[in-house]
Amino acid sequence: MILKTENLSHKYTSTWAIRDINIEIADPGIIGLLGSNGAGKSTTMNIICGTLNQTEGNVYVNDIDLRKHPLEAKKQIGFLPQIAPLYTDLTIDEYLVYCAELRLMEKNKIKAAVEEVKERCGIAHFASRLIKNLSGGYRQRVGIAQSIIHKPKLVVMDEPTNGLDPNQMIEARKLIREIAEEHTVLFSSHVLSEVNLLCREVIMIEGGRIVFSDSMDAFNNYAQSSAVLMRMDHPPAVAELLKVAGVTGVDFVSDKQARIHFEGSEEEVTDRLVAASVAGGWRLKEINPDKGVLDDVFKQLSQTAGQ
C-alpha cells in the first residue's frame, strides 16, 4: 500500500480541522484531493507529509508508519506545497543538489539524480541560471523537480498549476502525467476542471470529512449540469432564447456567449437550441454542458453524505 491513513483526525485548539480521514492508495496514478477553502485539504496533506503531527489516527507510506519511523517514511515522500520552497539566490544545480542532500541521498548518486531530474522536467538548459531569474513556469518545474529527485513512491502536490498562464498549465499537466506513470501523485485542487483533466480518482473533503471517494467518472455523475454554454456570432435577445421549450433562464457571460438554464432532458433542449439557431440566424459556434459550480457539487455531496 503506497498510502494509507486510518481515522486521521486533527484539531486546532478545540476545533476539529479534519475527522476520521481514511485513504487507501495502492497503485501509481493521479488521485485528486478536492475541497473548498478551509475544508481540511492542507491539514490532511501536511500530516501525510510529516510536517504536522496529527491529534489522532495513523499514516502509512509504502507500509511504513510515519509516526514511528518518520525518517524512513519521509524518504518515500515528495512534496510540492502551493508556494514552491525555492532558494532563489541559488542556481538550479545548486538547489537540486541541496534538496538531494536534504533527502539523505547517497552522495555518489546525487549527480546522476540531478541530471536525470533536470532532463525530465525540461530545465537542463537553465542549470546554471539563478532561480530568481526564471519565469513562473520554470520555477514551478524546479519545484516539481525537487519533489521527485529522490524517486519517492508518493508525490504530494498542492495546487501545482496555480498562478501559471494557459501555456504553462498545459506543460505542467503534461509533466505531472509523466510523473504519475511511475509515482503515485496526490494532487490537491479546488478547481474541478483541473482535477477532471488529470485524475483517475477523486477524494473530496468538506467540513473536515471525506464526503466522496471514487472514480472520476463517478464524481462527474454528481457534477451533471442543468445549464449549457452557447457561443454565437449573432446572439439573439434573451426573450428569444426563453421561447425555446425547456429553457428557464438566460445569463450572458460575454457579448457572444450565454449560459442557458433548462429543465428536462439536456439532449432535447440542446437539439431545440441548435434548431432555433439555424432558424434565427444566430450562427451557433459552440454548445457544451456547463459543469456545475464546484460549491454546488460540494453542497450536494455533503447533503448526500449526511443522509
Give the mean pLDDT of 210-227.
79
Whether residue 110 is predicted with pLDDT greater than 60 in this model: the reply is yes
Reported as a pLDDT band with limits 50, 70 and 90, residue 167 is confident
pLDDT for res 33: 94
In this predicted structure, which of 9-18, 52-61, 185-194, 218-227 has the lowest mean pLDDT? Answer: 218-227
pLDDT for res 279: 94
Residue type, 139: R
Burial of 176 (0-12, 13-18, 19+ CB in 10 A): buried
Give the mean pLDDT of 53-61.
97
Give the mean pLDDT of 53-76.
96
Complete domains list, the chain, with CATH: 3-222 (3.40.50.300), 227-290 (3.30.70)
**Better-predicted residue by pLDDT, 222 or 38:** 38
* pLDDT > 70 fraction of the chain, expressed in percent and rounded: 93
Reported as a pLDDT band with limits 50, 70 and 90, residue 292 is low
In the chain, where do the E strands start and end? 3-12, 15-25, 29-34, 56-61, 64-65, 77-80, 154-158, 184-189, 201-206, 209-215, 227-232, 247-254, 257-262, 284-289
C-alpha–C-alpha distance, residues 307 and 305, integer Å: 6
pLDDT for res 101: 96
225: CB partners within 8 A, 6+ apart: 266, 289, 290, 291, 292
pTM (2 decimals)?
0.76
pLDDT for res 305: 54
Residue type, 92: I
DSSP 91: B
pLDDT for res 162: 80
C-alpha–C-alpha distance, residues 20 and 32, integer Å: 18
pLDDT for res 222: 67
Give the mean pLDDT of 282-290.
88
Q: What cell was used for 10? A: 486533527
For helices 92-102 and 107-120, angle between their N-to-C axes, nearest 10 degrees: 130
